[in-house]
Chain A
Amino acid sequence: MSDRYPSYGAVFLALKEMRRALVRFGLLMASIGLLVFLILFQQTLQTGLITSFVGAIRHQSAPVLVYSVDGRRNLQGSIITSDLQKKIVAVPGVGSAGEIGQGSFSVTAGSKLTSAAIIGYQTEGLGSPTTLVSGRLAHADGEVVALASSAGDGFGLGDTVVVQPGGLKLRVVGQATEIGYQASPTLFSTYPTFEQAVLAANPDARAALPAVIAVAPAPGTTDAELVARINDAVPGADAVTRADAVASTPGVAQVQQSFQVIFLLFGLVVPLVTGLFFLIVTLQKASSLTLLRALGAPSSALVRSLLFQVSLVLVIGIGIGIALYTPLSSQTLGSIPLSFQTGAVVLWSVVLFVLGLLSALVAVRRVLRIDPIEATTGAGLGR
């Protein structure tokens, strides 16, 4: 009988103590909740920020992008001459290839003058957006797919966007999520539409050169192999996989590094706060724990009681954090659309729970060190 529910007594003790020190435990749970909220919020902000900068690259269909070396992995700086293009396309292992052009334009949308990025691709499947949520891809001249989150700014389905100067009319025929580029409203069109926009805005331009060549490997060649071959064979070409193109876009790594420092600090603060709190509480109730040990309570029961408290505090604290985060995660912060990130929530919950539990081991060690004889002198532990 005594071993059937061995934890019940420990839970009893843990809950009684918490109930009689509600303010103290409540404050701890609120603090953990706030920290968890801040971590999740920053994580979402980071993702939102990066997505609004390079979502267009992440969510386009070409597996490999070839920049010019002096373009520094920046669509705006990279120009592919027809000579370079010929050499790239000739590399063995290239299955298919297509031009991608990009430009930043002044446009009138929803009767307001604003700026927008236009990305034109020559071949569907090599640069077309992959996150279409309504409408269809652009096929004919003057058709574009717009960033869904900019719909309210005159880029909604069926809206007409006018390139200024020049007056080229673009009609939104589809919407895709997370295809922002450089935090601007972004439009994906066919290559001819892109060229028309360039020529309309700047009549002196003779042609619109592509910024990158999108390539897909031939059967039997991997993306990485293709990247290596192009870089070996063509001086002046800078081939990267889609994921690397995202990560190495100027600014992205810096943003990630800054956020990582913040995450590291938060990730340390949560277990530190938890560990210190329970250490202090354990020291404060040392005489009670000594008494219970003297009366024959096994130290394992006292440890279980402590660990139960730690777990409960962490679960509730993390729960508070998620509860605060959930409504905020669906908002738009400035021009950056946020989204509830299940992966981050699960990951941070597990990481913080485990770290918090580990941090309580200092307090556990204190409990295990109690010498019951000290109940006879009232000295308690802590020497």
Chain B
Amino acid sequence: MTTVGQEQEQEQPTRPALEMVGVRKVYKMGDEEVVALDHATLMIGADEVVALLGPSGSGKTTLCSIAGGLLAPTAGSVVVGGQDITGYNAKRLAKFRQETVGFVFQSVNLVPFLTARENLLVVDQLGRRTGKAARDRADQLLEELGLADRRDNLPSQLSGGQRQRVAIGRSLMNEPLLVLFDEPTSALDTELGEQVMELIRTEMKSRGTAAVVVTHDERIVHYTDRTMHIVDGVLHA
């Protein structure tokens, strides 16, 4: 069964995973305006894994949120896998997020009262409901991520590294065109962080899925194809 293919016209697999043109994001805080992102223009290939490197507060999370359809830009256009999401309303954005992108957030990634496997399945259950296909995919992902024997554990019964692996599996459940990782290693020690980055690279490359890995850690760039730098909301590709 085709899942995300039809709308994205997958007959052109070389279409970029993400294109942003002149994207600007201004937060209004009372009278003050914070320009979190300014004139961001970038393109990420269909199977490219890109690092987004910048100091804290430079606009990395804002950029990812806009790319993933969580946040509407103040100006500019956003096209993901050929789908222009710029003018989407909240409902269409939710559907877009559900079908087209994968997320690994900086803080909360798992529902505490669901097991590892259920965390992978829950979004499909609440949305597309592909049933057995989703269950098979969840089992396959847990196997790949070395979590087969942990599938029935609750997040509280897992280590930090295991939780992060479950989150990675969850981000791949909907066969996304683009996965956005927001500081995926920041909560892990160096060794675990390297293992997780290795895993991210392997998983992306074996699927030919594009990814943006947000970090302020220089070492992570070894695992990516390319690095974009961002400082004070300005992107240096």
Measured between beta carbons, the chain A residues less than 8 angstroms from B107 are: 287, 377-378
Is B75 at the interface (CB under 8 A from chain A)?
Answer: no
> Would you give the shortest CB distance from B43 to chain A, in whole angstroms?
23
A-B contact count (CB 8 A): 108
Q: Are A294 and B129 in contact, CB atoms less than 8 angstroms apart?
A: no
Which residues of B (82-110) have their CB < 8 Å from a CB of A?
A: 91, 94-99, 103, 105-110
Least Cβ–Cβ distance between A94 and chain B, in angstroms = 73
Contacts of A373 in B (CB 8 A): 65, 70-71
Residues A296 and B123 in contact, CB atoms below 8 Å apart: yes
Q: State whether A16 and B94 are in contact (beta carbons under 8 Å apart), knowing that A295-B103, A378-B108 are contacts in the complex.
A: no
Which single residue of chain A is at the shortest CB-CB distance from B72? Answer: A373
User: How far apart sit A317 and B56, CA to CA, in the bound complex (Å)?
Assistant: 51
Contacts of B105 in A (CB 8 A): 291, 294, 375-376, 378
In contact, A9 and B129 (Cβ under 8 angstroms): yes
How far apart sit A285 and B61, CA to CA, in the bound complex (Å)?
A: 23
Looking at the complex, which one of B103, B112, B130, B154 makes contact with A288 (CB distance below 8 Å)?
Answer: B112
Confirm or deny: A232 has a beta carbon within 8 angstroms of a beta carbon on chain B: no
Q: How would you classify the secondary structure of chain A's contact residues: helix, strand, loop or mixed?
A: helix
A59 within 8 A of B: no
Tell me the nearest residue of chain B to A286, going by C-beta. Answer: B108
Indicate whether B64 reaches chain A with its CB closer than 8 angstroms: yes
User: Which residues of A have CB within 8 Å of B118?
Assistant: 16
Known: A12-B125, A20-B154, A291-B111. A297 touches B70 (CB 8 A): no
Complex partner residue of A20 from B65, B113, B182, CB under 8 angstroms: B113
When the two chains form the complex, which single residue of B94, B112, B125, B130 contacts A293, counting CB atoms closer than 8 Å?
A: B94
A interface residues, how many (CB within 8 angstroms): 35
Q: How far is B126's CA from A56's CA once the two chains are assembled, in angstroms?
A: 61
| Contact call B70/A292, Cβ cutoff below 8 A | no
From A12, A294, A299, A380, B97 is in contact (CB under 8 Å) with: A294
- A291-B111, A295-B103 given as contacts; is B126 within 8 A of A372 (CB)? no
**When the two chains form their complex, are residues B95 and A288 in contact, meaning their CB atoms are under 8 A apart?**
no
Chain A residues with CB under 8 Å of B207's CB are none
Interface residue B228 (Cβ < 8 Å from any Cβ of A): no
Asked if residues B109 and A291 are in contact (CB atoms below 8 Å), the reply is: yes
The verdict on A297 contacting B113 (CB below 8 Å), with A287-B108, A378-B108 known, is no
Q: Size class of B's contact patch?
A: 35 or more
A296:B95 contact, CB within 8 angstroms: yes
Bound complex: CA A295 to CA B110 (Å): 11
Q: Are B129 and A296 in contact (CB under 8 A)?
A: no
Closest A residue to B69 by beta carbon equals A296
Query: Would B106 and A1 count as touching, CB distance under 8 A?
Result: no
| B231 located at the interface, meaning its Cβ lies under 8 Å from any Cβ of chain A in the complex | no
Residues of B within 8 A of A288 (CB): 108, 111-113
Q: Judge whether A13 is part of the interface by a CB distance below 8 angstroms.
A: yes
Asked if B204 is at the interface (CB within 8 A of a chain A CB), the reply is no
In the docked arrangement, what's the CA distance between A2 and B123, Å? 12
Which residues on the B side are within 8 Å of A380 (C-beta)?
A: 108
Alpha-carbon separation in the docked complex, A294 to B98 (Å): 8
CB–CB B113/A21 < 8 A = yes
Task: Name the B residues within 8 Å of A301 (CB-CB).
Answer: 126-127
> CB-CB < 8 A to B125: which residues of A?
8-9, 12-13
Q: List 8 interface pairs A-B (beta carbons < 8 Å), by A numbering.
A: A9-B129, A10-B126, A13-B122, A13-B126, A296-B94, A297-B98, A298-B127, A375-B108
Known: A16-B118, A377-B107. 17 other contacts (CB 8 A): A1-B130, A8-B125, A12-B125, A20-B154, A21-B113, A285-B113, A288-B111, A288-B112, A288-B113, A291-B105, A291-B109, A294-B70, A295-B97, A296-B97, A296-B174, A373-B71, A378-B105
**Residues of chain B at the chain A interface (Cβ within 8 Å):** 61, 64-65, 70-71, 91, 94-99, 103, 105-114, 118, 122-130, 154, 170, 174, 182
A residues with a Cβ closer than 8 A to B are 1-2, 5, 8-10, 12-13, 16-17, 20-21, 285, 287-288, 290-299, 301-302, 305, 372-373, 375-378, 380
Top-10 shortest CB links A-B: A296-B98, A378-B107, A9-B125, A296-B97, A297-B126, A9-B126, A20-B113, A301-B126, A288-B111, A287-B108
